[in-house]
Amino acid sequence: MKKTALACGLSLLAGAALAQDTARPVGDDFVALFSSYCLQKFPDDGALVAQAAQDKLEPLSAAQVKVLEHKDNGLGWMVSRAGVPYLLTVEQASLHSCALRRTSDEVMNGDALIAAARHFVEAGGHKLMPPAVFARPLAGGGVSHSMTLQELDEKDQPLPQAYMFFVVSYPAKPRADGTLAKPFYEIRFMRQMFRQQT
């Protein structure tokens, strides 16, 4: 049942016109980076910042983080793996989150990220609920497809924490010279606390 729900959610997430079996899996680097920072260090922001400094990640400016998170209170870094730039961000406002994102010219399959999150929570005696899938239109013709998997404790009670996979599609846009920029996708995976931990 769980596998069926997950497969259905991923299919919807990729979009009605995009078959799931054509989506390229996210790479091992994406999974390793998310695991290193958002699973092993977050929600301890101090430990995450220390790890980012040790790994010599390039910090983002406050303005760059605000563009990504749409909030003033946050941290961010750029990290490159195999020539692919990733953006790591931590939101520190009313929602506490750790997110890793990259852009792609094609839809990507998040199975490996979800499997890593599932393994992480199960190691602590918890589990993830079946995915809730949403699609939201954006200004300019984009669409945000999201899948949310909330964490349950050992008594199957919902916890104020979830894992969220996003595929945000951006259509082709005209450039200043009259040509069209190619359409692209933002692929993002997030660990989010619904309230700040104390």
Q: Which two tokens stand for residue 70?
A: 């749409």
The per-residue pLDDT for 23 is: 81
Using an 8 Å Cβ cutoff, are 145 and 135 in contact?
yes
Answer yes or no: is 84 within a domain.
yes
Host H or E run for residue 2: helix 2-14
Q: Spell out the residues 6+ positions from residue 70 whose beta carbon is closer than 8 angstroms to its own.
A: none
Residue 198 counted as domain residue: no
Tens of pLDDT, residue by residue over 60-97, are 988 888 888 777 678 999 999 999 999 999 998 778 99
Residue 160 counted as domain residue: yes
155: containing domain: 2-193
Does 131 map to a domain?
A: yes
* Count of structural domains, the chain: 1
Give pLDDT tens digits for 169-186: 999 888 888 888 889 999
Reported in sequence order, the residue ranges of 51-175 that DSSP labels E, i.e. its strands, are 58-59, 74-81, 84-92, 96-104, 108-109, 127-128, 132-137, 143-152, 158-170, 173-174
- pLDDT for position 13: 46
